[in-house]
A and B are shown apart, each in its own frame.
Chain A
Amino acid sequence: MSAGHHHALYVPGDTPVHRLPPQCKLIAALGFAVAVVATPREAWGAFAVDALLLAVVAVVARIPPGMVLRRMVIEVPFVLFAVAIPFIGLGERVEVLGVSLSLPGLWAAWNILAKATLGVVASILLAATTEPRAMLLGAERLRLPSLLVQIAMFMLRYMSVILDQARRMRIARESRGFVARDIRQAPVLARSAGALFIRSYERGERVHLAMLSRGYTGQMPAVHDLPASGRQWGAAAVLPVLALTTALIARSLA
């Protein structure tokens, strides 16, 4: 089957970062992102400090830098958008290698790029050190709307089932000579997607019946006790607090 025994993003390990309860890590990553966004864009040094903080986390969690870099590919669409801004931006212009660029545009691009990169790296580290299941338990623990957590939980459970179904449909198409060459084959693929949607929907109904058969009343029974000690909260707070301090210092200097 297609799915391996661990989820693709999770890097198994037993480091202090891995051991922190998921709810602490979720809050820490969120706090860090907020602090980064609150940092003035002119404060080059502050961003360097933030990057350094993440590097320390990566070292403690034993996440290889190469892996973090590879996963940063997810940011590419934002980078493309940011790169376009200096060309189309208005206002004061500067010459760089004979190309006229907008100065506010450059600042805006830098702002997006720096903050997005730091946020993406923080989420990569979070995903690499927290199992998806633990992440959901953490979210539950933080009292996120239970419906959303349930939807995410079912997605986690049924992703491989649905991908498997999609794969079987593709094999069935190709076994009968179908090749997706250009746009003219789009209707066939659209119909396949539609069939897959209906099958998943029907499975959803059957799963719901199975849940009702076992006493489901709209709430997942809260069975898990996921305690986080004050010390663990303290350890998790180090990253966002340092980032926030950096942001505040940068603001007061600006």
Chain B
Amino acid sequence: MTSGAESGTAVSLQVSGLAYAYPDGTQALFGVDLTITRGERVALLGPNGAGKTTLVMHLNGILTAGHGTVEVAGLPVRSDTLREIRRRVGLVFQDPDDQLFMPTVREDVAFGPANLGLRGAELDRRVRDALDRVGMLEAMDRPPHHLSFGQRRRVAVATVLAMEPEILVLDEPSSNLDPASRRELAEILRNLDVTVLMVTHDLPYALELCERSLILSEGVIAADGPTRSLLADDELLAAHRLELPYGFAPSAHPR
């Protein structure tokens, strides 16, 4: 087992031998190993029920490892490190209504940094900065439930960016978005200067945004490589219940 602490700086996320069984005995993860270096954008692909969400919930300590370790920039996920881990791992949930719980966008984005102790001008700067990065600055004083779904997802990304996380983890970022919102979100994500782990079964979106992909299947990492070559391997995709949309050929889509 390697430990993230020894390498010091470059590793954002290190998962080693992670296994987990739900309390009812269902084993969801059977020893997951993965390493993401700082600045990478990685897609975690897998069919429904592959254990993607279970894995994500380990990354910020909502679930704790039955076996194995998770380290974020060298800091292991343990009950006494949870606060710092949750600052370092920015989780964007699938349903923005779960994430945007404050009465206005401004207060929602301020919630995280305010919990870190920021106040006044510094807090205001963080909020504006985060909203600016997702192009939602003008919606600052509106209530979240008056925004469109795509706008809400962008604000949800901003709430996490305001924490200045080590790694941004997005759960199905493209779900329920219309094509225009989908493209806008892709442009925003591409221009962010943070490490991204994107959990999805939207293969074209992974190709568009991530150089590298992991395939999680039946609780283990079944493949790890450049997104383009993984998606070009029909047998590999078929073996793990992954499918490209009708008529989509990865080779026809230069980056």
Q: Are A221 and B103 in touch, CB under 8 angstroms?
A: no
Interface of B is mostly: helix
Chain B residues with Cβ below 8 Å from A206 are: 93, 95, 98
> A156 within 8 Å of B by Cβ?
yes
Q: Are A215 and B145 in touch, CB under 8 angstroms?
A: no
> A252 within 8 Å of B by Cβ?
no
Q: Are B145 and A160 in touch, CB under 8 angstroms?
A: yes
> B67 within 8 Å of A by Cβ?
no
Chain A residues with Cβ below 8 Å from B102 are: 153, 157
Q: Are A215 and B112 in touch, CB under 8 angstroms?
A: yes
Q: Are A214 and B103 in touch, CB under 8 angstroms?
A: no
Set A210, A216, A223: member contacting B93, Cβ < 8 A:
A210
In Å, the complex CA distance between A5 and B87 comes to 34
Q: Say which one of B114-122, B173-181, B182-190, B241-249 lies at the interface with A.
A: B114-122
Q: Are B99 and A210 in touch, CB under 8 angstroms?
A: yes
Q: Are A214 and B145 in touch, CB under 8 angstroms?
A: no
In Å, the complex CA distance between A5 and B143 comes to 9
Chain B residues with Cβ below 8 Å from A153 are: 102-103
In Å, the complex CA distance between A154 and B101 comes to 7
Chain B residues with Cβ below 8 Å from A214 are: 86, 111-112, 115, 159-160, 163
Q: Are A223 and B114 in touch, CB under 8 angstroms?
A: yes
Q: Could you say which interface size class chain B belongs to?
A: 20 to 34
> A212 within 8 Å of B by Cβ?
yes
In Å, the complex CA distance between A148 and B83 comes to 25
Contact code string A198-217 (vs B, CB < 8 Å = 1, else 0)? 00000100110111111111
- Among B60, B95, B110, B111, max chain A CB count under 10 A is at B111
> B21 within 8 Å of A by Cβ?
no
| Least Cβ–Cβ distance between A34 and chain B, in angstroms | 29
Given contacts A3-B145, A5-B146, A221-B111, contact A215 B116 (CB under 8 A): yes
Residue of B nearest to A219 (CB): B115
In Å, the complex CA distance between A92 and B191 comes to 84
> B91 within 8 Å of A by Cβ?
yes
Given contacts A3-B145, A210-B93, contact A217 B123 (CB under 8 A): no
In Å, the complex CA distance between A211 and B114 comes to 12
Residue of A nearest to B163 (CB): A214
| Least Cβ–Cβ distance between A201 and chain B, in angstroms | 13
> B104 within 8 Å of A by Cβ?
yes
Chain A residues with Cβ below 8 Å from B115 are: 214-217, 221
Residue of B nearest to A203 (CB): B98
| Least Cβ–Cβ distance between B62 and chain A, in angstroms | 6
Contact code string A1-33 (vs B, CB < 8 Å = 1, else 0)? 001010000000000000000000000000000
Chain A residues with Cβ below 8 Å from B114 are: 221, 223
> A235 within 8 Å of B by Cβ?
no
| Least Cβ–Cβ distance between B106 and chain A, in angstroms | 9
> B107 within 8 Å of A by Cβ?
yes
Q: Are A213 and B119 in touch, CB under 8 angstroms?
A: no
In Å, the complex CA distance between A129 and B87 comes to 39
Q: Are B145 and A161 in touch, CB under 8 angstroms?
A: yes
| Least Cβ–Cβ distance between A225 and chain B, in angstroms | 9
Residue of A nearest to B101 (CB): A207
| Least Cβ–Cβ distance between B98 and chain A, in angstroms | 4
In Å, the complex CA distance between A3 and B107 comes to 20
Residue of A nearest to B97 (CB): A161
Chain B stretch 7-64: residues in CB contact (< 8 A) with chain A: 60, 62
Set A156, A215, A217: member contacting B87, Cβ < 8 A:
A215
Q: Are B101 and A223 in touch, CB under 8 angstroms?
A: no
> A133 within 8 Å of B by Cβ?
yes
Given contacts A213-B60, A214-B111, A221-B115, contact A157 B145 (CB under 8 A): yes
In Å, the complex CA distance between A216 and B97 comes to 17
Chain B residues with Cβ below 8 Å from A3 are: 145-146
Residue of B nearest to A153 (CB): B103
Chain A residues with Cβ below 8 Å from B95 are: 206
| Least Cβ–Cβ distance between B63 and chain A, in angstroms | 11
Beyond A136-B103, A156-B103, 9 extra complex contacts between A and B, CB < 8 Å: A153-B103, A206-B95, A206-B98, A209-B93, A214-B112, A214-B163, A223-B107, A223-B110, A223-B123
A and B contact pairs by CB, cutoff 8 A, 19 listed:
A3-B145, A3-B146, A133-B103, A156-B103, A157-B145, A161-B97, A203-B97, A203-B98, A206-B93, A211-B101, A213-B62, A214-B160, A215-B115, A215-B116, A215-B163, A216-B115, A217-B115, A221-B114, A221-B115
Residues of A bordering B, CB below 8 Å: 3, 5, 133, 136, 153-154, 156-158, 160-161, 203, 206-207, 209-217, 221, 223
